[in-house]
Chain A
Amino acid sequence: MAKQKAFYFDASACIGCKACQIACKDKHDLPLGVRWRRVFEYGGGSWVEQNGVKVPSSLFSSYLSTACQHCESPVCRDVCPVQAITKREDGIVILDSEKCIGCRYCEWACPYSAPQFNEETKAMTKCHFCYDLQAQGLNPACVDACVMRCLDYGELDELRAKYGDLNEIEPLPTNEITNPALVITPHKHSQKSGEGTGRILNLEEEV
């Protein structure tokens, strides 16, 4: 198997605090409106009356912190008309904002909406897995930021050996399009992608 760097996310421990998101913004000086790491809250359920008392009925909710999945088959790269997106030997998918012509096709194509547009520079930007920090032997900024220690990274096959091979929970899309390099430990409320009965509860915060 080719080398492939991947993220690990423990949904059972995430508290949705966004330290990872802001650590990423700080590391990369991201402007407002650009979030390379997003933290979603996904849930559903309702309340019913039982002997005159309103009680929660199958209420569920959990968090998902997600960035670029550095997919094994990156559609963002495939659709870019100027080859601004490339996959490195270690599997990291990088985007050269200098080359980008701002057509935003990658943003549209990526099922995770990982590439994001910088209004100021009129170019796309994207998580590059802190390859600069990794080159110095350091961890990606988000991984070192998590107060619940639910982010990790490494070689995909090693992460799979350690944590299993789940890589699709709601609200992520199903994995067949891009083969995301992602390993997830589910929350007790996590639902399989495509079979979800809830909705993103904090959509406004993350678009």
Chain B
Amino acid sequence: MNKENMIQKALTDTVLTRRSFLKWSAALGGTAALAGGMNLGLKTVEAAAQTAAETDGKWVTVACWHNCGGRCLLKAHVVDGVVTRVKSDDTHPDSPNFPVQRACVRGRSQRMQVFGADRLKYPMKRKNWAPGGGKKELRGKDEWVRISWDEALDIFATETKRILDEHGNKSIYATSYGDAFGALYYDPISRIFSVLGGNVGAWGTVSWGAWPAPSIHMMGGFPSTNDRLDLQNSKLIVLWGANPAWSRQGNTTSFYMEAKRAGARIICVDPMYSATAKTLADEWIPCRPGTDTALLLAIAYHMIENNLQDQTFLDTYAVGFDRDHMPEGADPKENFKDYVLGKYDGTPKTPEWASEICGTHPSVIRSLSQQMATTKPAAFISSYAPARTNRGEQYAQAFFTVGWMTGNVGIPGGVVTWDPLPGGPPLVKLGPRGTSYKDNPVFPSKYLFPFPDPADETWTGLNWSEQWDAILNGEYTAGVRGKQPIDIRMIYHGHSAMLNQSPSLNKGIEAHRKVEFVVSASQFLTTNSKYADLVFPVTTYWERVGDLISANRESIFWWQQASQPLFEAKSDLEISLALAEKMGIDIEMIPFEQVIFNQVAGAEVIKPDGSGFEKLVTITADDIKEWGVEGEPQKGRISLKEFQEKGVYQVERKPGDRFTHIQLKAFRDDPVANPVGTPSGKLQIHSANLAGHIAAFGWDKIAPIAKYEPPVEGYEGTLDGEYPLQLWTPHYLRRSHSVFDNVTWLREAFPQEVWMNPIDAEARGIEQGDTIKITTKHGTALRHVKVDAGIMPGTIATGEGAWADRDDDTGIDMAGATNSLCGPVPTGQGVQGWNTTNAQVEKWTGKPIGADYKQPQRIIFGEEA
């Protein structure tokens, strides 16, 4: 063996047992198991791509459409309808101030997703399905039967009508978002139910965690984070639980790098020495998941003890900090300062008190507090993740409060925010789509965000953390109405990944096996579709006529079609129209070309002097004729053809330009003229409305000020021994939530491992690369372990979104889907507390699991069929 070869050397240097060494030798010896179709894409497409001459094709701007936290420009090289390569934005020279909209690793893999061999090719039904459900217990393990579109539409129409007639609209549960979040999240198929009288809706705080209600009640809404260029004014940036390198891909992390280069000190508070922390942080401060509130209270304690808080700011701009500045009607004893000092509860929230809970050393807490209080201006930026915890509202309350104590509000370089994505009002925007929307009368779309009004007695919707229990037990929590009966007979999944992506997959599977009818529309045999009776194959955006999207405040994109629909897949819009026809109902739809045209014609860009907007696109009478749409010629900055060709319009920026956005600047400049939207018009450290709002949901109660109370399955839950570890579930670069999990390139690049500290591994006799069994109250999974000192002792983590692969006999999930492990614990405003789960880990003594990318793809029908 060549000792100088870095791979060989690493292998020999690594402390390997003989068994694992042999395994490595085998891995080095080649990948024979993969022979044939080595990228595991559609063979017909791969073959065509191989023979296609690079020079004959053309580059078109295509969609990267995922709920990924980014939005980047992707171009596909198309030869005879086949995509041979992708690239990203090259429409202008790249520079820090005027960056190209560069795509991430997932966008770069998009070709392998669209043309994956596992694309669903035909409509299909479960072999043992019959009207009424047939052998329902076989859902998830039955054989699939290819059927015609006509039969598929017919089954849907007949069963849906039967269920509606027999059980009414409140027996149908549709898990997609409808139209509330714009085109990308719009599921036209679920509109069928709306026209027929509605369906029970699904709701949850999902990614946002517990932020929305505190944000509304404490600061009056959701003001966006300071502009990316303004970050360069910050002397200190604290990224709290934020790992944009994984959760906000595309350019975002580079914006923080520019801030660092401009002199900002960066501190990351996180249970993991994350990719962001490794690259950006001057200091990493570990904190146990679900205990951030305790850490923040101790930071406040140190500030108060040393009189470091910005008292003038608090007195002028906030209420609730001390007994002399309470909102009207509030009990003066319920002020934040006295709670921190322990005046009434006898517990001063000292760094020593917090350290026992959050695991951060008291001296580190003091130093962090000192830096936060004395470095100005500073940006305090949380991600959603620390609030994706049971009782997450208390974290949001504490983060706002402690951030505001420093006075870093509404000033250049200063911000207290829960979104790591730099923001600001759009500088270029699309015209309205011109489509109408038939709302769901049973669960109106306004309740998808920011969630149902608990005092409203008219809605029927199931919370993500309660839905499966509701279906199994016939009861759901309906805000002030308390527990209400529910009788779900049909589940429809379109445009969602509900079964895989909501807490308790095991209960979810049980619920799916209970109802009479399960329909799913998808591009692959996702977890939703695996447990369905009837599956519609859906096209990707690359197979559709194109669309436009706002990428960020500086850019809009125009995507084109790259390929014809694959096999018999149809867009969900086409499916909805075919279903409407079958069912004899009318759903209004304007031609999609018109939808595109409307957005182009209505697009506006900010005037150079910032005094307003002007039309972006010049449109001629010929353009209108060519498009066959209705419209008027107009003058703008660029021609329609140029915009279409480039696929992007981006406003050029410079530091200090007039477009710089600073959150709450108007409020800071004149709080009387520009109050925030709270009852006091000020920042509400004390909010009785927030406490009342949370209580009305009917799950648990919080105080009107930030207090630390142990959450269900928080750190305190580990202390009694059975589940001594804390599991948390970060966003992972292999996927955008569950999307991309089947892409072999990404599986290879990002194994679905469980990070574990060497101290915890050693205590369990576990070594790097071992297969481990993770057990929680809610389920069991097997995974490889990554023994890494970069994760805090006592905590383990694995990326959310792997496609569950539950072995029905053992109940073990072989894929490590986090919802096989995370429980349904509805708290607060209906939060999914994915980052608070108690777990135990042991070494797996059965057969070790193999590499993810060598697992068989879920191919139902071959290309020859």
Contact = CB atoms under 8 A, between A and B. Distances in A.
Given A61-B273, A113-B7, A145-B108, A201 B745 contact: no
A148 B257 CA distance: 8
Given A33-B30, A120-B36, A207-B11, A17 B733 contact: yes
B7 A207 contact: yes
Nearest to B734: A18
Given A119-B35, A173-B4, A204 B769 contact: yes
B108 A23 contact: yes
A207 B759 contact: no
B568 interface: no
Contact of A32 (B108, B360, B362, B748): B748
Contacts of B611: none
A199 B853 contact: no
Interface residues of B, number: 78
A174 to B, nearest CB: 8
Among B11, B103, B279, B793, the one with the most A-chain Cβ atoms within 10 Å of its Cβ is: B279
B744 interface: yes
Contact of B10 (A23, A171, A177): A171
B486 to A, nearest CB: 44
Interface stretch (A80-88, A91-99, A104-112, A158-166): A104-112
18 contacts: A15-B275, A19-B105, A22-B749, A25-B745, A27-B85, A29-B39, A63-B278, A111-B5, A113-B8, A120-B35, A148-B253, A171-B9, A171-B10, A189-B278, A199-B13, A199-B14, A201-B788, A203-B11
B750 A173 contact: no
B749 A108 contact: no
Interface size class of A (residues with CB under 8 A): 35 or more
A14 B275 CA distance: 9
Contact of A31 (B27, B34, B276): B34
The 4 closest A-B pairs by CB, nearest first: A31-B38, A33-B31, A15-B245, A113-B7
B105 A59 contact: no
A113 B40 CA distance: 25
Given A13-B257, A22-B108, A31-B39, A50 B361 contact: yes
Given A111-B2, A120-B38, A144-B90, 10 more contacts: A13-B257, A18-B749, A22-B109, A33-B38, A53-B359, A111-B4, A173-B9, A199-B10, A204-B784, A207-B7
A117 interface: yes
A26 B789 contact: no
B793 A47 contact: yes
A47 B789 contact: yes
B284 interface: yes
B257 A147 contact: no
A123 interface: no
Contacts of A205: 748-751
B94 A149 contact: yes
Given A26-B85, A50-B361, A147-B249, A59 B789 contact: yes
Interface in A171-207: 171-173, 177, 187, 189, 199-207
Contact of B28 (A19, A55, A120, A207): A207
B87 interface: yes
A45 interface: yes
A32 B104 contact: no
Contacts of A15: 245, 253, 275-276, 278-279
Contact of A46 (B30, B108, B284, B789): B789
Interface of B: 2, 4-11, 13-14, 24, 27-28, 30-32, 34-36, 38-40, 49-50, 85-88, 90, 94, 102-105, 108-109, 111, 245, 249-251, 253-254, 257, 273, 275-276, 278-279, 284, 286, 355, 359-362, 364, 733, 744-746, 748-751, 757-759, 769, 784, 786, 788-790, 793, 851, 853
B278 A203 contact: no
A119 B31 contact: yes
Nearest to A113: B7
B786 A147 contact: no
A74 interface: no
A21 interface: yes
A110 B8 CA distance: 11
A53 B361 contact: yes
A26 B112 CA distance: 9
A189 B461 CA distance: 51
Contacts, number: 192
A32 B31 contact: yes
A52 to B, nearest CB: 9
Contacts of B28: 207
Nearest to B110: A26
Contact of A119 (B34, B94, B355, B851): B34
A62 interface: yes
Nearest to B107: A19
Contacts of B851: 204
A205 B746 CA distance: 11
Contacts of A147: 102-104, 249-251, 253-254
A47 B791 CA distance: 10
A195 B349 CA distance: 45
B86 A19 contact: no
A43 B277 CA distance: 13
Contacts of B359: 53-54
Contacts of B360: 53
A54 B759 contact: yes
B361 A32 contact: no
B105 A17 contact: yes
A108 B7 contact: no
B745 A22 contact: yes
A16 B254 CA distance: 13
B793 A54 contact: yes
Chain A CB within 10 A, most for which of B24, B788, B789: B789
Nearest to B254: A148
A39 B186 CA distance: 37
Nearest to A196: B13
Contacts of B790: 43, 59, 61, 201
A32 B745 contact: yes
A154 interface: no
Contact of B749 (A21, A53, A118, A171): A21
B714 to A, nearest CB: 18
Nearest to A178: B4
Contacts of B853: 32
Nearest to A132: B54
Contacts of A61: 273, 278, 790
B5 A113 contact: yes
A47 B8 CA distance: 28
Nearest to B253: A15
A26 B108 contact: yes
A144 B39 CA distance: 23
B34 A33 contact: yes
Contacts of B276: 15
Interface string A126-170: 000000000000000100111111000000000000000000000
Contacts of A33: 30-31, 34, 38, 748
B751 A19 contact: no
